[in-house]
Amino acid sequence: MSRSTASYALSGKRPISPEVTDRVLAAVEQLGYTPNAGARALRTSQTQVLALFARFVEDEFAPAMLEYIKGVTDTARELGYDTLLVSDEDGPGAIRRLSGSQMVDGFVLLNVAEEDDRLEPLRSVHRPGTLVGLPGDTHGVDVFDLDFEASGRLMVEHMHGLGHREMILVSQPEDVVRRGGAYVWRLADTAKAKADELGVDLHHYFAASSQPGIGEDLHRFLDAHPHATALLLNNEGAAAALPAVLQERGLSVPHDLSVIGRYSDVFARTFSLPFSAIDSAADRLGRHAVQQLVDRIEGRIDAAAPHTVELIAPEIHDRGSMAAPPAV
């Protein structure tokens, strides 16, 4: 069998009979063959590597960020791509450097800010990019995110439908907003607007993202509003700390307090959380972003095709932590 025949069988660039393809795949498995990345890059101008830009920030809950990273890396691997994790503080410089050196075929950006300084260089380089997170200006990039505005409305509407008229909303730390984390105010602003529309008294707080600060914050909020019957959480650290806080206060869910959060099923299982939640869709967002990026890299999406902005509609995963408020 010639080298060209084996190459065509592996690449799929030319039709090869099933019998020959099976022989090639058997030989690959037996020999433990791995394609030479350098040779492939010279031949195809592709590296089969995606750059994933992610930052672990002290005041954000690291386990939540890992879910988005896993969604990206798992999908990339399934599609035949390796992932280069980039945590460089100089994001714009890193994008230009990686593109200029032709080390990667495309970019995935997490921690997307409202006015993200990585977007201008990303639009100017000759490599496609996708974002997990909604910036203020979406032109020139594919964007995937949870619909946080719809999530805020849904939280309030659902609790109102159960009879709750006083609620507490706990958001991420204010530093997240100052860095451009628009998802925080998108959810909070629409929750407040819906609460005002429905005649609900909604108390909004920013809180720490880790212990002991978050536990102290939750106690403070509950002390300040003893008549609140519903707790809305857009803060993963608050959800993780809440069981201990409830136990210390002698409160049960949903008998004394109804609770809804915003996090994934994986997160709920990891921290044994019994609270209903809007699925943050971290894995799904990573999958959609990588599939779109690879489709652009491999030409299945025309270069002139409009870019996508996909906001995933919120879904409540009911774990029994919401009910009518206690009788007065």
Q: Given this model, what pLDDT does residue 327 score? A: 78
Read off the pLDDT band of 26 (50, 70, 90): confident
Query: Average pLDDT, stretch 266-278?
Result: 93
Q: Given this model, what pLDDT does residue 34 score? A: 53
pLDDT in tens, 171-219: 999 999 998 999 999 999 999 999 999 999 999 999 998 889 999 999 9
Q: Is the pLDDT of residue 11 over 60?
A: no
CB proximity list for 322: less than 8 A, separation 6 or greater = 158, 159, 162, 230, 254, 258, 259, 260, 276
Q: Given this model, what pLDDT does residue 29 score? A: 67
Q: Is the pLDDT of residue 22 over 50?
A: yes
Q: Is the pLDDT of residue 48 over 90?
A: yes
Read off the pLDDT band of 56 (50, 70, 90): confident
Measured over the CA atoms of residue 304, residue 140, residue 82 and residue 145, the dihedral's sign is negative
Separation of alpha carbons 160 and 196, rounded Å: 11
Is 214 within 8 Å of 208 (Cβ atoms)? yes
Which residue in 284, 234, 272, 229 sits closest to 251, CA to CA?
Answer: 229
- Give the DSSP letter string of 98-122: HHHTT--SEEEE-S--TT-TTHHHH
CB proximity list for 162: less than 8 A, separation 6 or greater = 230, 258, 322, 323, 324, 325
Is 308 within 8 Å of 142 (Cβ atoms)? yes
Read off the pLDDT band of 40 (50, 70, 90): very low
Give residue for tokens 């690449």.
11
Is 162 within 8 Å of 325 (Cβ atoms)? yes
Is 231 within 8 Å of 259 (Cβ atoms)? yes
Separation of alpha carbons 211 and 232, rounded Å: 19
Q: Given this model, what pLDDT does residue 17 score? A: 75
